[in-house]
Every structure is written in C-alpha cells, then in structure tokens.
Amino acid sequence: MQRRKFIKGALGLAGVTMLTGLYAWQIEPKWMEFVHVKMPVKNLPEQLIGKTLMQISDMHIGNRFDWQYIIDSFKAAQAYKPDFAVYTGDFVSWENETQLEQLETVMQHIVTGTLGTVGILGNHDYGRAWKELPVADRVSDVLRQSGMLLLRNQQVLLHGLTIIGLDDYWSPCFHPERVMPAYDAQKATIVLCHNPDACDEQIWNGYQGWILAGHTHGGQCKPPFLPPPVIPVQNKKYTAGLIDLEDGRTLYINRALGHSFQVRFNVRPEITLFTLRKA
C-alpha cells in the first residue's frame, strides 16, 4: 500500500512538473500584457495632458525564440494608436549579420507614435561583450530606416515634451555628460535609460522626473512572493515596475517584450502604456 502511494505521488509530481515546464516554455513567454500606468510630468503643456506614451523594450530579435510573436505583439499594440512610442534597447540578441535581416523584417511592423517615435540602444545591440561598435552602428541604421529617432546621449523636443536618451550603461558609448548638463528643469522631460543601474551614478544634474528602463526582464522567472533569483543588475531592488527613487526621480522598469531565452514563469512579457498627467 505504501509503495502504491509513493508511486502515485511521484507520478503526480512528475505530471505537475511537466505541466509547469510546458507553461513556462510555451504559454507565458507569448502571453504579453499591456500594463497601464499614469505618468505625472512636471511642467507638462496643457495640450499633452491625457496623451499616451507607449514603452516597448528588449525585443531580442534573434535565434533564441520565434520572433513572429514580436510582430503579432506589434500589431496588437498598433490598435492603441499611441501619441509617443519609445523603445528602450536590446533590439537584437546578436550572433551574426542574420540578426540585421531579422530586425529589418520585424521593424516593417514598427509601432509608431503619432507625435514621435524614439529609441535608445541596449547592451545586446553592441554585439559580443557589448563592445562591438560597428554592430551598434548597423543596428542603429536599421532602426533609423524604420522611422525611429535614435538618441545616443542626446535629447529631442517633441511637441512640448523633451526626451533624453542615454546610450547603454555597459557599452563604450555611455556618455551622459554629453546631454545631462543640458537638462532644463523648467521643461517637461523624461529620460530613456536601458540599464537601471545607471540611476545610481552621479550623472543626473538634479534631474527630477521619470526614467524609463528595461534590461532586467523582471528576472523572467520568479517564485511567487519572492524576488527573482537571477537578475542582471548590481542594485537588486531594480527588478520591474514602478520604483520611487525618493529624490524626485521615478523609475519604471519594463519587464521586456522578448526574452533572453524562451522561458518565463510569473513574469509575463510587457508593453507599457503611460497616460500623461500634469504633476
């Protein structure tokens, strides 16, 4: 009798394990969520109150998962007709030049903002060891050809909203000193910064406002009620979602649309839709 119970329990456990594995491999990685967040912005012009800003991050186009899912997600996102669309890096998972062709295919379906479409690079857009500058330049060319305004330590004013874009924190091109001194506290401003660890650097020139980041993927797999066991940041509080930095800055970390590898558990992929409000 005891042996029969043991075998029954073992088979039940094996079944649950197989179902969980199947879910984490085939279901949750494609179960994208639109997350809606209110975004109060200081000095926001009246004409921008109620406008929407969509954040898409970490697409990771490459050979690690079927990126038709990204195209399908883009088509769903287009129905929202965002006023601004911002992309916060890691467009590819670089292996070779095939990723340029794959990215070109995906970006034929780019989600654009009616008032502007802006992006920054992430570490994977710099190729191996995040240091291949020619790779970053070629990825940048594909993005620009798709209609995206790519900011590399630069800022742009779009219809009363200033967007500052920092280059990747791990890359050789992270030079916030080229743009942050130009920050004007009297203007409505948001910052795009792929890796949230940059928030802890002394680079911000008194900036107070929103910082939109990605990079972490929320850990991709997370036990219920516990932090993710693996996350690629020094500051382990930078996991996902809304974080008050308690100095006038508000950080939002997008959980990523794509994946480092096709496995997710308790961390659904995300596209974020912010509604602009006057602070």
CA-to-CA distance for 239 and 127, rounded, in angstroms? 24
pLDDT at position 21 is 82
pLDDT in tens, the chain (279 residues): 555 654 455 445 445 567 778 899 899 999 999 999 999 999 999 999 999 999 999 999 999 999 999 999 999 999 999 999 999 999 999 999 999 999 999 999 999 999 999 999 999 999 999 999 999 999 999 999 999 999 999 999 999 999 999 999 999 999 999 999 999 999 999 999 999 999 999 999 999 999 999 999 999 999 998 999 999 999 999 999 999 999 999 999 999 999 999 999 999 999 999 999 999
Does any domain span residue 68? Answer: yes
CA-based angle 198:199:203, to the nearest 5? 75
The answer to whether 248 and 254 are in contact (CB under 8 A) is no
Does any domain span residue 5? Answer: no
pLDDT at position 154 is 98
Does any domain span residue 16? Answer: no
CATH number at residue 152: 3.60.21
Does any domain span residue 64? Answer: yes
How many separate domains does the chain show? 1
Residues 6+ apart with CB under 8 A from 55: 86, 87, 88, 212, 252, 254, 271, 272, 273, 274
Quote the pTM value.
0.94
Does any domain span residue 13? Answer: no
pLDDT at position 18 is 74
Does any domain span residue 158? Answer: yes
Say how many CA atoms lie within 13 Å of 266 toward its Cβ.
12
The domain of 233 spans: 31-278
pLDDT at position 2 is 59
User: What does the DSSP assignment read for 193-231?
Assistant: -SSGGGGGSS--TT--SEEEE-SSGGGSB--TTS--S--
Does any domain span residue 89? Answer: yes
Does any domain span residue 170? Answer: yes
- Does residue 274 sit in helix, strand or coil? strand
Residues 6+ apart with CB under 8 A from 83: 48, 51, 52, 53, 113, 114, 115
pLDDT at position 73 is 98
pLDDT at position 5 is 58
Among residues 151, 91, 143, which one has the least CA distance to residue 112?
143
Residue 167, token pair as written in the block: 């280059």
